[in-house]
Amino acid sequence: MKLYRIEDYAVRVTVKRRYVSPRRAEQARQTRRAILDAAAKLFVDPGYAATPLTAVAAEADVAVQTVYAVFGSKRQLLSDLVDVTLVGDDERMAMAERSFVADIRALAGLRTKLIRFARHLAETHARQVHVMLALASAATADADAAAIWRKNIEDRRRGMAMFAADLEVTGEVRVSQERAADVLWLAQDIRNYDWLVRERGWPVERFERWFVDSVAAVLGAPD
């Protein structure tokens, strides 16, 4: 066995790196997407509790072992599904780094910022309303679903606290940052979209105006 001096390792010893072919990476991405799509369908109907992972695997046309290999557990699959439907893709990017956040920060004026956020909110709700309502229903009887629902609520509250801080710099907010965050958090709740757009048949544009007008009226009034 040939030995090298320590200082020679940098130039003489080659470290083998794991190679992942682009084709395999794309196949893995497609498999993950197929499983998520299957879960999105079955967790809504017949529901999370009524859907075993064997059913998800069958819908996705993969082995159940593949589902476990990709997600590890049914709870993690549900958690990832909620995250993916929230942002619209499977990219590992923090919400604060998303382009719509930069768009809002670049705008001036309370209503202008709210209008841009309302457009983003309506797009997000349209994409995830079925999954989130199914999650809310499952959370009443399933501990894992309840934990994911609670985490989502808390994440949204933190997000609205960040948004409230951004709105405060406009100089047009007349309430405390804490109250502003609470108002934003309540107004953006997906159940408002469900009630007004899906149940009452409001056009999306009317929902966006309702959000802007309602939030601006409260934030612009003194405590």
Instruction: Supply the CATH number for residue 38's domain.
Output: 1.10.10.60
- What is the residue range of 166's domain? 95-219
In angstroms, the CA 145 to CA 71 distance is 16
Mean pLDDT in residue range 67-90: 92
Predicted model pTM: 0.83
Under 8 Å between Cβ of 64 and 54? yes
118-147 average pLDDT score = 96
Let me know whether 54 and 99 are in one domain: no
Which band of pLDDT confidence, cut at 50, 70 and 90, is reported for residue 18? low
With respect to residue 199, please indicate whether it lies within any of the assigned structural domains: yes
For residues 190 and 116, state if they share a domain. Answer: yes
Q: Do 205 and 153 sit in the same domain of this protein?
A: yes
Do residue 107 and residue 204 come from a single domain? yes
Give a yes or no: residue 80 inside a domain: no
Does residue 84 lie within any of the structural domains?
no
Instruction: Indicate whether 223 pLDDT > 70.
Output: no
Residues 6+ apart with CB under 8 A from 36: 77, 80, 81, 84, 90
How confident is the model at residue 88, as a pLDDT?
A: 78
The proportion of the chain whose per-residue pLDDT surpasses 70, expressed as a percent, equals 87
Q: Please, which pLDDT band fits residue 94 given cuts at 50, 70 and 90?
A: low
C-beta of residue 196 within 8 angstroms of C-beta of residue 172: no
Averaged pLDDT for residues 143-158: 96
Looking at the structure, tell me whether residues 120 and 31 fall in a common domain.
Answer: no
Residues 172-181 pLDDT 10s: 999 999 999 9
Residue 30 and residue 104 share a domain: no
70 and 103 assigned to the same domain: no
What's the average model confidence in pLDDT over 183-209?
97
Please state, as a whole number, how many other Cβ atoms lie within 10 Å of the Cβ of residue 42. 21
Co-location of 130 and 198 in the same domain = yes
- Quote the number of domains for the chain: 2
State whether 132 and 188 are in the same domain: yes
The whole-number pLDDT of residue 5 equals 52
Residue at 103 is within a domain = yes
Say whether both 117 and 64 belong to one domain: no
The CB density around residue 89, as the number of other CB atoms within 10 Å, is 10
In a domain, 39, yes or no: yes
* pLDDT recorded at residue 6: 46
